[in-house]
Amino acid sequence: MENIYDVIIIGGGPGGLSAAIYAGRARMKTLLIEKAFAGGQIAITAEVENYPGSIEHESGASLTERMVAQTVRFGVEKVYETVEAVELEGPVKTVKTSEGSYQAKSVIIATGAYPRLIGCPGEKELTGKGVSYCATCDGAFFTDLEVYVVGGGDTAVEEALFLTRFARKVTIIHRRDELRAAKYLQEQARAHDKIEFMWNSVVTEVKGDGVVEAMVVENINTGERQEILADEDDGTFGVFVFVGLVPNSKLFEGTINMQDGYIITDEDMRTNMDGVYAVGDIRVKTLRQVVTAAADGAIAAIMVDKYISGH
Ligand code: NAP
pLDDT at 2: 60
Closest residue (by CA) to atom 16 of ligand 1?
A: 243
Question: Can you give the C-alpha Rg of the chain in angstroms?
Answer: 21
Please enumerate, as own/partner, the contacts of 285-294 that have beta carbons within 8 Å and a separation of 24 or more.
288/245, 289/50, 289/51, 290/14, 290/42, 290/48, 290/50, 290/51, 290/63, 291/50, 291/51, 291/52, 293/13, 293/14, 293/15, 293/18, 293/110, 294/14, 294/15, 294/17, 294/18
176 lines ligand 1 (CB under 6 A): yes
pLDDT at 38: 78
Q: Which ligand 1 atom is the nearest neighbour of the CA of 152?
A: 9
Residue 217, phi then psi, degrees to nearest 5: -120, 130
175 lines ligand 1 (CB under 6 A): yes
Q: Is 134 a catalytic residue?
A: yes
Choosing from 6, 120, 138, 296, the catalytic residue is: 138
Per-residue pLDDT of the chain (311 residues; tens, 9 = 90+): 568 999 999 999 999 999 999 999 999 999 999 998 777 888 888 888 889 988 888 888 899 999 999 999 999 999 999 999 999 999 999 999 999 999 999 999 999 999 999 999 999 999 999 999 999 889 999 999 999 999 999 999 999 999 999 999 999 999 999 999 999 999 999 999 999 999 999 999 999 999 999 999 999 999 999 999 999 999 999 999 999 999 999 999 999 999 999 999 999 999 999 999 999 999 999 999 999 999 999 999 999 999 999 87
Q: How far is the CA of 8 from the centre of ligand 1 (A)?
A: 30
Of residues 129, 215, 205, the one with CA closest to residue 171: 215
| 273 phi-psi bin (left φ>0, alpha ψ -120 to 50, beta other) | beta
Residue 217's Cβ-side half-sphere holds a number of Cα atoms within 13 Å equal to: 21
Residue from 175, 200, 201, 219 whose mutation best tests the ligand 1 pocket (most atoms within 8 A of CB): 175
Q: How far is the CA of 269 from the centre of ligand 1 (A)?
A: 24
Q: How far is the CA of 174 from the centre of ligand 1 (A)?
A: 11
Q: How far is the CA of 224 from the centre of ligand 1 (A)?
A: 25
Residue from 118, 186, 217, 289 whose mutation best tests the ligand 1 pocket (most atoms within 8 A of CB): 289
pLDDT at 222: 97
Nearest 10 degrees: Cα torsion 75, 79, 84, 86: -10
Closest residue (by CA) to atom 38 of ligand 1?
A: 154
236 lines ligand 1 (CB under 6 A): no
186 contacts 162 by C-beta, under 8 angstroms: no
Q: How far is the CA of 152 from the centre of ligand 1 (A)?
A: 6
Closest residue (by CA) to atom 24 of ligand 1?
A: 244
